[in-house]
Amino acid sequence: MLFVLGVLIVFAGVALSIALHEIGHLLPAKKFGVKVTQYMVGFGPTVWSRRRGETEYGVKAIPLGGYVRMIGMLPPRPGDRPGELRELSTGRFSQMVDQARNDSMVEIQPGDEDRVFYKLHPAKKIVIMLGGPMMNLVIAFVLLTGVITLYGLPQVVPKVGLLSSCVPTAAPTLQVPQPKCATGDPQSPAAAGGLKADDRIVSVNGQSISTWDQVTALIRDSAGTPLRLVVQRGDAQVPLTVTPAALQRPTFDAQGQPVTRDGQLVLSRVGFLGVTPAQELVKKPIYDAPAFVWEQTVQTASVVVKIPQKMVGVVQAAFGSGERDPNGPISVVGVGRIGGEVAALDVPADEGGNWLKLAQLVLLIASLNLALFVFNLVPLLPLDGGHVAGALWESVKRAVARVRGRPDPGYVDVAKGLPIAYGMSLVLITMSVLLIYADIVKPIDLFG
């Protein structure tokens, strides 16, 4: 039941996000006088609809998107009079473009000639088309801000998380830069010195500790040299002495990549204690929210840019023996499945319980909205960014014409980009089908 509840929560969040995205288009369109004939959430057969004034509001059977139908999205062909229908051309692409123009013109009724989208000032077109993505950004901002201020973010603290049982003495290689423990390896200094999980490190050699980075730096610089620690264990402060082992380990560059020379790792002598840090939830002040949302947006954009590359891995995993990339793209089916798994997790109350699960579901919906925001900014039709690009180009052309004293060049003919839109739509449909299939036969495993 919890799994089903998680799926339903995610799908409700997806549907609401789509509905608000389309409202982001609807409200400025009506504000600028464009006639809007339909506001629909979903695709396919209409499940429910009501007409209010000149607009039909409804829900369709397939909740994988939505649309707002504005009249006159495409301008007439240069030389045609507004509302005039012309014989179709003979070329395949020309036929598609002409048919789209004619369909757009048929919607224009007497008295609607000045309520068409294509006649708007470019700035108003941009506001309308950015309204949807910006609504997704606002949703993500509100959800992420709520999570980090009310619930908190996991943050590494100067506290022992896990203890290594031994000192891995195997030599690092390019293939295995961080060797693991093997039979016969000596006991780790942390275990030998009496450290325990959940010990909070208060001081090292009399120096007060406030961050884990301080602990790491002291350990690395103290190979073979005893360290005097004071740890908080329950209600008591316990003094301990540990001696980091001396190991040869790889050096790393600013990007976190191992440094090599002549095909070999560049090693340095470092101290090894055998501990990993713990994490605790830390509530953030509200003024940290913009930086956090920006960081998440940049990460989302980096994933979107790599989608063509990552789709290769999706295909290999779906039709072969490869594993799914946990940071790769997923379909709405995959998002729903993850939501169900989160809701079904057995989380002890002292580890967050239901609040942890709720926070994870909220973060999942926020991430989806960031993905919708970034993806819709791609400057290709039929995405919102394609219409924005057309409006920007129209503005540039008119500005150049004014500077040169030339006649107004008129509206940018975005209809010429329809072949690209059709191709892009085919690509998106193919990707969606592949992702849905992969999420069914080889889903991403986030919980081991």
Q: Which residues are catalytic?
A: 22
The residues with which 154 forms a beta bridge, in sequence order, are: 281
Q: What are phi and psi of 413, to 5 degrees?
A: -85, 85
Spatial contact of 264 and 256, defined as CB atoms under 8 Å apart: no
Q: CB 251: neighbour CB atoms within 10 A? A: 12
> Which residue from 149, 145, 147, 148 is spatially nearest to 137, judged by alpha carbons?
145
The tokens for 44 are: 């396919």
DSSP SS3 for 352: coil
The tokens for 35 are: 């006639």
Return the H-helix or E-strand segment holding 62.
strand 55-70
Spatial contact of 172 and 265, defined as CB atoms under 8 Å apart: yes
Q: Which amino acid is at 227?
A: L
The tokens for 135 are: 């609504």
Q: CB 122: neighbour CB atoms within 10 A? A: 20
DSSP SS3 for 32: coil
Measured CA angle at 140 (ends 139, 145), to 5 deg? 105
Q: CB 430: neighbour CB atoms within 10 A? A: 11
The residues with which 163 forms a beta bridge, in sequence order, are: 275
> Which residue from 225, 232, 166 is spatially nearest to 198, judged by alpha carbons?
232
